[in-house]
Each structure stands twice: as structure tokens, then as C-alpha cells.
Amino acid sequence: MDDSIKQLAHQLVEKISRAVRKESKQNFYKLGKTVGLGADGTPTSYIDQIAEDVALKLLQKAKAPVNLLSEEIGFVDFHGDYVFVLDPVDGTRNASRGIPFYSVSLAVGTSHIHDVTYGIVKNIPTGDVFSAEKHHGAFFNTTPIRVCDVPSTHIVSSIALGKNYTTTAGALSKKHNVRSFGAASLEMCMVALGGLDYYYVGRDVMRVVDIAASTLIVREAGGVVKNRRGEDLDMPFSLTEHTSVLAACSEHLATQLLSKA
Amino acid sequence: MDDSIKQLAHQLVEKISRAVRKESKQNFYKLGKTVGLGADGTPTSYIDQIAEDVALKLLQKAKAPVNLLSEEIGFVDFHGDYVFVLDPVDGTRNASRGIPFYSVSLAVGTSHIHDVTYGIVKNIPTGDVFSAEKHHGAFFNTTPIRVCDVPSTHIVSSIALGKNYTTTAGALSKKHNVRSFGAASLEMCMVALGGLDYYYVGRDVMRVVDIAASTLIVREAGGVVKNRRGEDLDMPFSLTEHTSVLAACSEHLATQLLSKA
């Protein structure tokens, strides 16, 4: 992929991150306020709108061959060869309540998760950046990363619970060291980094904008990304499709976890 | 309380935080390595030892009227009037695996949680500081904080699961928006900030070093801190006692949650 496209992607992520950080300091109690309905049918919060405005302005100005698919605004056709698949704020609820675990997620591809060639996830509160290029590995800032060794002595997982509770999630939540952070892209990057052994969402609630970048990052770090039926995860660049997710440090662990389901 | 004691407390927290941050960049894969057994009978990790060394050196040099109770080293008598109740790294497992959610926790009191007059919890990865002085309110950096409004439209909780799973925790994990971050002092500060409506640990696993500071911070922010039997939480400065914890934004919510147990 052209270096100028990668640079544009990083520039976009940095600009959004800066805008969100600024708002989180200045307008703390406004961040989660609903300002309308997004293209995916869910309410748009103030913070999502701020972030998308930044994205649109930059892409209009850049005149690069890049279209945009974003959570709230939907698909914007700039007659490009690539699509930027963007979640301007993943973990909006955390962001809007001051919980320091949320991110910007941006994937570059053409039509499906399987053809994503570049992915960036930036942890906004800490400033750390995860990235991956297809066939070139995954990085935490500038350091190459790998999923954790198998078998891990003390398994640490992150599991979607509450509204996204399923029987399998419930069974898994009784074992090991369980976390649940509420920002899928960043939780998947924790698998890529070796921080988590696996991340599980049992319900069909994840959209392509949430997971397109982090799926590449996990795979390039040596991990696997599946749906709850154990199929390698793929989905089109569309806001109407939803999926379950199992990101794990190994095929073996993924099989083990799903066979107990 | 004497301002010089408060200053010493903040100085100690900053020094530990800097040492841990430095190690986390330089010796990432060494942080969680076990280096012996602590005063509480659990294994001491490399990162805990680094942090306690910093604490001991500073207190020996300061010659202040302050004793130390810390997770690994136990009680150190400097013939002081106050006790610094320290968890040098709360969320050691997160820290040792690169998950950016861990803290330094320091409370200043004499013998029990009820007589704690000052508390500091520092989020090491973001650098944010929570503090409270008895009868003078709670702060996020320099901003006064309050627990969230009651009733919250969308309840967000954090619940200890996995090895600390209980029937009540399991029942609560099916509702609302559930998180689990793995660092008690910081999760309790999220209640104080209004980020979480409540935080629940159903098993008797929490020690005074984990929660002494954050209990004051939650109470000064207008929240309540109980054990699982609904009693206002108190415990002596001793590493042999363990408790359950419910930190909530209101008495009403706490009663409601425990009545369903």
C-alpha cells in the first residue's frame, strides 16, 4: 500500500484523538449527550459527532483516493480506491463517563475485513498506538508485538457481559482472571500485545467499524479472530451486519473455549 | 492533618509512579516475575519490589513521624504518629501484562479505615491523581468530584469475576453495562468520579492496602462503601484481614443491589 495513504491514516487518527482529548478536558459532562441518530441506527453522541467532523474535513481537504465508512455518518464516496473504515470513538460510554479506556480505530481496505491491509488503533487516554500492515507484523508504538505464549500459566480474559451476556460468556466468567473493559478494538489489541489470552463477545453486536483494524492487528501478532461458531471472522464493509467475536492467542485455545460452549 | 505529611504522601506516590513507569518501558517482560513471598503470604512480583524499595528509601530519608504498612514488606515501625497504608502497585497483573489500568494507592491514618484522613490513588498509565481529605471532599487532579446522579439512566458497574466469582456477582453480571478492570482502588475511584454507578467484590479477598485510600475518596465524593452484608466498611491496618466490597453512588442503590443477593 502507498505510503501516502498510511500517512493520511495516521494523520486522521492523531487529529481525532487530539479533538477527543480536548473535548474530554473541556466539556466532560457533554461528551455522552445524544445529538441524533447515526447511520447504524444507534444514537450519535456529541463526542462521536465531533470526531467524525474532524475526519470528514481532513478527507475532503486531502483529496486522496479514499472513501469513508464511519459509525455515524455511514458511507461517504470520494471516488477512492480504498475505504477508511472508521470508529471515531470506540468505547463511547467509557469516554463519556470519564473511564480511561477508549480508542480511535481505523482500517484501510476495499470491501471486506479479509482485504484490510492496514490497521491503526490508538488508545486515546494513554496515547499509545497499535498498528499492523498485512504480512508485515503488528506494533505497539514502534515495538513489534506477539500474542502471549501458549499455554499461559495464568489465563487473563476479557468477556462482554451485562446487556451482551450469553450462556457461554457466563460460563467463561467463572474461570481464570476475568476482565471486561468495554472497548472492543482496544481489548483485541490487548490480545495482540499478550496482555489478554482471549477476548469474547457472544452476541451478534459487533460492527465492522469496531473490529476491522484490530482483527488485522491480532492476526499479524500471531493470534486468531473467529465468530462464535469458530469460523475465521470476515464481514463486508457495511453497517447493517453484526457479528460475535472470539480473539485468542492461538487456534488451540479458541477451539478449546468454543468446544465448551 | 499537617501539610508536610500530605506533601510527603504525594511525593511518595509520584516517586513510585515514576519508578513503575520507567520499569514498564524498560523491563516489560520482567514486571510480573515472582521474586519471593510477601508479608501477606502471596508472591511478590518484581514490580512490587521495585516500588516498595522506593517507598522505604524515601521514608527512611524523610525522618517524618510516619510508619509504613505495605503489601509485601508488612509493617515498618519508624516510631511515627501516622501510618502510610500503601499498595505500591494495585493491579499488578494488569501492569505485568501491559494492560493500562493500575495504580499506586496510599492512605494516611492511625489504625483503621475509619480513621483515615487522607487518601491518594494515582492512575499510573494516564498520570491522573484522585485524592480526598476527610470532610474536605474528593478531587480528580484539582477538580472536585461527585458520584453520579441517582438514578442513573444507564447503570455502568464493575464486578469482580473469574476466581472471585460469587452467585451475587454472577447475577449482577447479566444486567446493565458491566465492566471488570482488575484494580480495586482505581475502580472505586471511578465510582467517586461518576464513571461507574457501583463496584462489587463478593468474596473476602480485598486487603486494607487495596482499599483504604479509595474508601475515603468514594465517601468524600458522596458515595457509600459497604461489605457484602451491607455494613459500612471498616477494617484494621492489618494484612491478615480480608473483606468483600460494595462501593456505590448511593445508599439506595447499595441496598437495592444487596437485597437481591
A171 at B interface, C-beta within 8 A: no
CA distance to A121, B18, B24, B251, per residue, from B28 (Å): 21, 15, 5, 42
B195 at A interface, C-beta within 8 A: yes
The answer to whether residue A166 is domain-embedded is yes
- Which run of H or E residues covers position A165? none
CB B173 to CB A163 under 8 A?
A: no
A60 in helix, strand or coil? helix
CB B195 to CB A101 under 8 A?
A: no
- Are A109 and A194 part of one and the same domain? no
Question: What is the average pLDDT score of chain B?
Answer: 92
| Residues B132-136, mean pLDDT to the nearest whole number | 98
Name the residue facing B175 among A156, A162, A195 (closest C-beta): A162
The answer to whether residue B213 is domain-embedded is yes
Q: Give the pLDDT confidence score for residue B151 in this predicted structure.
A: 64
DSSP A74-104: EEE--S-SEEEEEEEEETHHHHHTT-S--EE
C-alpha cell at B1: 492533618
Residue of A nearest to B100 (CA): A126
Domain that holds residue A233: 156-259
Tell me the three-class secondary structure of chain B, residue by residue: CCHHHHHHHHHHHHHHHHHHHHHHHHCHHHCCCEEEECCCCCEEEHHHHHHHHHHHHHHHHHCCCEEEEECCCEEECCCCCEEEEEEEEECHHHHHHCCCCCEEEEEEECCEHHHCCEEEEEECCCCCEEEEECCCCEEECCEEECCCCCCCCCCEEEECCHHHCCHHHHHHCCCCEEEECCCHHHHHHHHHHCCCCEEEEEEEEECHHHHHHHHHHHHHCCCEEECCCCCECCCECCCCCCEEEEEECCHHHHHHHHHCC
Residue B149 binned pLDDT confidence (cut-offs 50, 70, 90): confident
- Per-residue pLDDT of A93-126, as tens digits, reads 999 889 999 999 999 999 999 999 999 999 999 9
Domain boundary among the residues A144, A175, A204 is at: A144
A156 at B interface, C-beta within 8 A: yes
- Per-residue pLDDT of B206-255, as tens digits, reads 999 999 999 999 999 999 999 999 999 999 999 999 999 999 999 999 99
Mutate to test the interface with A, among B103, B176, B181 (most CBs of A within 10 A): B181
For residues B30 and B97, give the distance between their C-alpha atoms in angstroms, rounded to a whole number. Answer: 10
Percentage of chain B surpassing pLDDT 70? 91
Residue A152 binned pLDDT confidence (cut-offs 50, 70, 90): low
A181 at B interface, C-beta within 8 A: yes
Q: In a 10 Å sphere around its CB, with 0-12 CB exposed, 13-18 middle and 19+ buried, how is residue B55 labelled?
A: buried
B78 at A interface, C-beta within 8 A: no
pTM for this entry: 0.94
Domain of A217: which CATH number?
A: 3.40.190.80
Q: Give the pLDDT confidence score for residue A22 in this predicted structure.
A: 87
Residue of B nearest to A145 (CA): B98
A26 in helix, strand or coil? helix
- Are A83 and A22 part of one and the same domain? yes
Domain of A131: which CATH number?
A: 3.30.540.10
- What is residue A199's DSSP assignment? E
Q: Give the pLDDT confidence score for residue A84 in this predicted structure.
A: 97
Residue holding cell 499537617?
A: B2
A182 at B interface, C-beta within 8 A: yes
Pairs across A and B, CB distance < 8 A: 113
User: What interface predicted TM-score (ipTM) does this complex get?
Assistant: 0.92
B173 at A interface, C-beta within 8 A: yes
- Per-residue pLDDT of A62-71, as tens digits, reads 988 899 999 8
Percentage of chain B surpassing pLDDT 90? 79
For residues A191 and A121, give the distance between their C-alpha atoms in angstroms, rounded to a whole number. Answer: 13
- Are A170 and A135 part of one and the same domain? no
Domain boundary among the residues A117, A144, A171 is at: A144
Mutate to test the interface with A, among B173, B199, B205 (most CBs of A within 10 A): B173
The answer to whether residue B90 is domain-embedded is yes
